[in-house]
């Protein structure tokens, strides 16, 4: 869902902010809220999304303080936690973690082919969790860092008092209506991403840049948020997906993108479909691409157009 410059500028006019706000405040952007609400009404289900300008702290969205299942989007934060622990000297990225057939669960695109080796380096597991959403890699890292409770404690140390990890893959995807385990909100996750991906308070510059590059090199979300961005803009993301007979389909994506010569913008989008389907549908991914299109137009509006 590529959009050309003329269409992007026209969209920017449609999504002009009603005013500016200080850091960490929600922007009173009725038009963006209305666009996201209209999208939700058109496709059915429940959509939570937030767009955050990292330069000013301005943000706007829809259902951004409601809880949503993280699904595999948590692996971005997990990879960041690993890199932070290495920055702090608490672990060495070249340490090999052993694993066996007993550790195997569904979706192991990297750990599966390497099972015969019996171990993988921490840095390779973190990269696999982020770039391919490898579930075994994620579980091994969670265990090595002390379990879900320890991961949640790391989130709290980052200033995120909402996001929580309670279980391992694949159980953490089982989040029916009313479940609070393994959830976040679009606002909380966006703020955490901003802390991790901009500045150097949580991650050293080399670790931050490595994490960003892993996001850019991730290709699982090219039809989600990034599918609505101009293809010339640098962007990276982490997807999350869950299909089950126990709950409506979940199609998530969290992304960062760089408008030309502008500071990065962060977008978090969590979409629960209007029913239970056996597979992720193209139409569900298109919902998130539309969020990306709205976010791109908002970014142009925030910065007064692109030169």
On the 0-12 / 13-18 / 19+ scale of CB atoms within 10 A, 277 is middle
Over the stretch 78-101, which tens digit does the pLDDT of each residue have? Answer: 999 999 999 999 999 999 999 999
7 pLDDT above the threshold of 50: no
Query: Taking the model in full, what pTM does it have?
Result: 0.90
The stretch 233-244 carries a mean pLDDT of: 97
Q: Give the pLDDT score at 303.
A: 80
Q: What is the 3-state secondary structure (H, E, C) of the chain?
A: CCCCHHHHHHHHHHCCCCCCCCCCCECCCHHHHHHHHHHHHHHCCEEEEEEEECCCCCEEEECCCCCEECHHHHHHHHHHHHHHHHHCCCCCCCCEEECCHHHCCCCCCCCCCCHHHCEEEHHHHHHHHHHHCCHHHHHHHHHHCCCHHHHHHHHHHCCCCCCCCCCCCCHHHCCCCCCCCCEECHHHHHHHHHHHHCCCCCCCHHHHHHHHHHHHHCCCCCCCHHHHCCCCCEEEEEEEEEEECCEEEEEEEEEEEECCCCCCEEEEEEEECCCCCCCCCHHHHHHHHHHHHHHHHHHHHHCCCCC
Q: How confident is the model at residue 2 (pLDDT cuts 50, 70, 90)?
A: very low
Active-site residue 235, yes or no?
no
Q: Rounded mean pLDDT of the chain?
A: 91
27 pLDDT above the threshold of 70: no
Tell me the percentage of the chain whose pLDDT exceeds 90: 85
Q: Give the pLDDT score at 141.
A: 99
Side-chain-side CA neighbours of 76 within 13 Å: the count stands at: 32
Residues 193, 255: Cα–Cα separation, whole Å: 9
- Active-site choice (72, 133, 207, 235): 72
Q: Give the pLDDT score at 245.
A: 87
19 pLDDT above the threshold of 70: no
Over the stretch 122-175, which tens digit does the pLDDT of each residue have? Answer: 999 999 999 999 999 999 999 999 999 999 999 999 999 999 999 999 999 999
Q: How confident is the model at residue 307 (pLDDT cuts 50, 70, 90)?
A: low
């Amino acid at each position: 869902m590529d959009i050309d410059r003329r269409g992007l500028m026209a969209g920017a006019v449609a999504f002009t902010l009603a005013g500016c706000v200080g850091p960490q405040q929600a922007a009173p952007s009725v038009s963006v809220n209305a666009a996201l609400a209209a999208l939700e009404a058109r496709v059915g289900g429940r959509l939570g999304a937030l767009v955050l300008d990292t330069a000013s702290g301005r943000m706007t969205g829809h259902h951004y303080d409601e809880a949503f299942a993280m699904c595999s989007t948590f692996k971005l934060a997990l990879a960041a936690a690993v890199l932070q622990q290495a920055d702090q000297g608490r672990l060495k990225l070249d340490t090999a973690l052993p694993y066996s057939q007993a550790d195997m669960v569904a979706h192991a695109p990297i750990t599966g082919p390497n099972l015969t080796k019996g171990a993988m380096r921490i840095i390779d597991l973190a990269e696999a969790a982020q770039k391919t959403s490898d579930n075994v890699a994620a579980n091994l890292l969670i265990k090595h860092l002390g379990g879900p409770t320890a991961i949640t404690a790391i989130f709290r140390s980052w200033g995120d008092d909402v996001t929580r990890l309670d279980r391992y893959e694949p159980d953490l995807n089982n989040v029916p209506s009313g479940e609070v385990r393994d959830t976040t909100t679009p606002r909380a996750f966006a703020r955490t991403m901003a802390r991790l991906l901009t500045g150097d308070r949580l991650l050293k510059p080399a670790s931050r840049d490595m994490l960003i590059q892993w996001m850019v090199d991730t290709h699982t979300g090219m039809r989600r948020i990034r599918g609505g961005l101009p293809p010339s803009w640098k962007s990276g993301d982490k997807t999350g997906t869950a299909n089950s007979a126990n709950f409506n389909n979940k199609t998530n994506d969290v992304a960062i993108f760089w408008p030309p010569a502008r500071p990065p913008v962060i977008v978090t989008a969590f979409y629960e479909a209007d029913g239970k389907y056996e597979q992720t549908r193209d139409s569900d991914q298109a919902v998130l691409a539309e969020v990306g299109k709205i976010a791109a137009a908002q970014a142009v509006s925030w910065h007064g157009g692109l030169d």
